[in-house]
Each structure stands twice: as C-alpha cells, then as structure tokens.
Structure 1
C-alpha cells in the first residue's frame, strides 16, 4: 500500500489530514509569517528563513531573492534556480513539485498551483498534484496564473494577467486567457526594448557605472 506522501508525489487522489501533513503545513505557515514580517534591511535573516522554507542550505538560498509577502503550502516542494527574482504578493501552492529555472523574473501577484480537485463533486474532497516547471530565463508578468501540470519553456515571456493552462514552448511571447503563443522571440528583441527603443551599449555602460559607483 502506498503512503499518502507517495500518492501526492505520484499524482494519485489524496487527502492531507494524516501522516504529519497538517503539521508540515503548520510549520510552513509559521515560517511564512516570520518571513513576511521580517525586517527588509535584515537580508541575512531573510536568507536564513528562505533556507528553512525550501529545505536548502544558506549558500543556495543566497542565490535568489523573494520579496514579501510570499505565500506557499509546504515550501519544501519548491526549487528555485540561481538568479531568480520573485516580486511581492506571489502565491505558490506546492502540494506538488514546482521547479523554477535560473534567472526567472517573476512579477507581482503571480499564482502558481500544482494541485487540483476532481470535477466530480462527489469526490471534491480529494486532491491530485501535477508538477509545474518553468525554464531558465523566463519572465512571468504581473498577475499571471499558472495552472497545474504546465511547463513553460526557457527564455519565454508570459504577458501580464495571462492564465496559463497548457505548455508553452521555449523562446516565445505568450499572452491571454487562456494563454496562447503570440510570437517567437525575434532578432529585434535582442537589439530593442519598449516598443522599438534601441539598446545602446554606451547607455548600458553608463548604467553599470552608476550601479557600481
């Protein structure tokens, strides 16, 4: 017989009131409250809290950043790549596995769910998980909802307010509800920003000097 933890991991129907699951969620909520109430100037403490939330070491936790408030179910089912930035008000429901690649730029108020319920109302008390994967160097716009089972390819941009219900390939711009591919990332995107404004190497160098001054 499978354990409830195994049923969760394998996408089978499960409930979450046994095998220490309520205690795991309670511990996560306490860490969430502590993280969200932390001093914004005390980055060392925030890194320590992120290490505890995601069950990783401090060196790994120091390679990405999350702006409070941040909401999650367990924390331990989330992996986040180096250089990722997650803005305020995001909610990651991680009953299932959530894998976030390197260099993610995640706008405010993004919701990612890895768990759902049967449509059959007689079975609504049950849940099942479907993992979510976000590739390296993605940009997820403000207010996006990513549904269970979705994979978003590397280098892809998801427009603000989109609802992502199906897989999105690498290196595209996708928008809408439901989210659909609008176009591929183009050569023009490599040389311009903000509706055609040119990327000037001299301007970038000036910005770097300001940043390092």
Structure 2
C-alpha cells in the first residue's frame, strides 16, 4: 500500500545507495522487491523529513496483521516483534509460503501462540534473554537462531546450516541435530545455495582471526 511513497523516497534520498538496486529490481520485477521495500521502510519511517504520522500508520497496519513492534525495550538495545499466530492471514504472506490448506489456516486462526522475534541480540545478551524467557514462559514450542556469518565456502546470499559449533571461548565443540536440512530451505530461495551438515565457529572477535587460524578449521571439516 505504501509502494509509491517508498519509490519516491528511494529515488530522492538513495538510502545506503539502494537506488540502483531498486531500479534493477523494478525492471526485473522479482520477488526480492518486497524484501527491499521492507528494509527501506525503516529508513523512511525514521527519516528527518518523514511525518510522524507515517510511523503511526505503519504500526497500525502491523497491529492489524498481528505484529506488535517493541522499539524501545529499555533494558536492552535490541528491537523485538511479537507476532500473534491467530491473526496471520494467507493473503498477507509471501506467496512462496503457500503450502497450507484452508483447514490449516482455520486451525491457525484458533491458536493463541505467539512468535517472539528478537532482532540480533549478541553473546551474553542472547543468553540472558533466553534465560529470562525460559523461566517466565510456561510452554516453549521451539527456539530458532538465525544470523549472518562469514563462510569459507559459498557466496553472499548462500545459507549455511550447521550441526557442529566450536566455541572459542570455552574450547568446547557442540554437536546437535539441526531441525532443518537443505531440502527444507532450498524451495524457498530464489537465489543462492543451501549447505547443510556444516561446522560453525563462534569467535571472540572477527578482527582476531587470520588465514592460518581459519585454515585449521577448514581442514578439520
């Protein structure tokens, strides 16, 4: 509904140099355009020239769709979203998520479950958030962790699914059965490749790494 406004904003202010990307996507008319609009919407809402009414309008539409955004949590400098499963509607979803039947959607409308989506908590912040939630919430159906990472194989936009994580802090290796495989994720990607059964390394800091150090992990598989 805000496409025209976002188009004008991108052409006028070129946030993060995205004008050329926007023009290429507009010409190609790919599904990635929706992702671009979602990303630019935050810049648009927070821009000095944007009326405060715009932020209120965005928040109102999100609440109607079952999404409550917590932008000022006071205790932690991370944004969060509370998504009510019962308010999700098929017409608002990405068209790639079309696997649910009418009966499935009817069942979801009766659900009182929520998705608590936290924007990028790091290290101990993530640990403390999960500790508090696990003690305060009666029933947790699942915890899903997704983030960006540098990979020794692959290209930008590829997806890595690990089942082993080495922690440089404790020197421990953690083996687990990941609930996702490449077959689960690949159908939803327009671009990129999915690598599963991978090994991940959590480090003290990216600047402390070097080629020789990474080569050891690469040789270990």
TM-score of the superposition, structure 2-length normalised?
0.28
Bigger proportion of residues as helix = 2
Q: Which has the larger radius of gyration?
A: 2
More strand by share: 1
